Amino acid sequence: MRTVELPVTPPFAVAEALTILTVHALPGQDAVDAATGTVRRWLRLPDDTAVPIEVRLATDRIRLVQPVGRHEGDVQRLVRRWLDLDADPAAQLRAWGHDPLLGPLAEHRPGVRVVGYLDVFECAATTVLGQQVSVAAGRTFTTRLLDRCGQALPSGGRIFPTAPAVAAVPVDELRAALGVTGARARTLSSLAAAVAHGLVLDPDGDLTATRRELLALPGIGPWTLDLIAMRGLADRDAFPAGDLVVRRAMGVPDERAARTVAARWSPHRAAAAFQLWAHALAQRAGGSAAVAPDGTARSD
């Protein structure tokens, strides 16, 4: 294993990142130690092998412990995207500084990142399973998917299943194994089949075409699409206007109004959404620095 330090423009909001990583961690694949700022998990490489990685978060640096080999550059690129390490908090503050809503939030909590996923299919499947339920329930369903279809590792852990592995399971078996509704099982199965048969979920691909293909799948609406775009496809200007918590934090009545207001935050709208979530949860918790999408307020 080799330790490298990944450049990051400070500050990096450690507490907020750790919170969202914790609430979505899957037993057997992810382990988050908030006390030390350490995250350990398994990562699938381009050659389909699974390797362990560890990241240690600090406000001014990110240390990555990774296997030595020809995929070192791939791992570092994926980790940078996963943790939004190329974000520039100062540029966001300049863009939002005079905004009456977002400016004070960013001044109070600088460096909030758009924490995503290392695997885009994992992001998409997890988002589908989190529709219309709490974060905890979505995590339960996703853990069951990991147990049912995930790749077993020699260490005893598991890594998130590939799309073909999920697509191979009949819908009725998925529904029973995961404990979800028939409609949710069909959406997950359709998504997996589409990816298995050529739908490319690539942050470096044609995001407009990818959005169009995803939206054509049954059970995938604007909220799901925006979350996948933000957290999986690294679209830093995506914005979940259909999210009720976001709209409440903005003080607007509907999705159309939310999109109108959010237009002034472009091209940093994804980071703006994470700032709004952070603010909403901090208010609910009496000032704690928690950030995570509120799964009881999702709509599609």
CA dihedral 130, 132, 134, 139 (to 10 degrees): -20
What's the average model confidence in pLDDT over 199-203?
A: 95
Region 239-259: mean pLDDT is 94
> What is the token pair recorded at 78?
């994926």
Residue 47 has pLDDT above 90, yes or no: no
pLDDT at 282 (0 to 100): 80
In the numeric block, which tokens belong to residue 257? 């109004």
Q: For position 173, what pLDDT does the model report?
A: 97
Better pLDDT: 149 or 278: 149
Spatial neighbors of 14 by CB under 8 A, at least 6 apart, are: 37, 57, 58, 59
Q: What is the CA radius of gyration of the chain?
A: 18
Mind listing the pLDDT tens digit for each residue in 93-111?
Answer: 998 989 999 999 999 999 9
What per-residue string of b and e applies to 46-66 under the rule 16 or more CB within 10 Å gives b? eeeebbbbbbbbeeeebebeb
* pLDDT digit string, tens, across residues 140-159: 999 999 999 999 988 888 99
Query: What CA–CA distance (Å, rounded) separates 188 from 249?
Result: 30
Count of Cβ atoms closer than 10 Å to residue 252 Cβ: 17
**Residue 291 above 50 pLDDT?**
no
Q: Which DSSP state fits 187?
A: H
The neighbour count for residue 159, using CB atoms within 10 Å, is 23
Which pair of structure tokens corresponds to residue 221? Answer: 């609406």
3-state secondary structure of 64: strand
CA 74 from centre of chain: 19
Write down the H helix ranges in the chain. 14-23, 72-82, 89-96, 102-108, 120-129, 135-149, 163-167, 171-178, 182-196, 207-215, 222-231, 244-250, 255-262, 269-284
Contact 89, 10 (CB under 8 A): yes
DSSP state of 250: H
**CA 90 – CA 95 distance, rounded (Å):** 9
On average, the pLDDT of the chain sits at 91
Q: Which domains does the chain have, with CATH numbers?
A: 2-86 (3.30.310.20), 120-231 (1.10.340.30)
11 and 60 Cβ atoms separated by less than 8 Å: yes
Say what the pLDDT of residue 211 is: 96
- C-alpha span between 292 and 294 (Å, rounded): 6
Global confidence as pTM? 0.92
Task: In whole angstroms, give the CA distance from residue 265 to residue 99.
Answer: 9
- Give pLDDT, residue 69: 85
Half-sphere exposure of 261 (CA within 13 A, CB side): 22
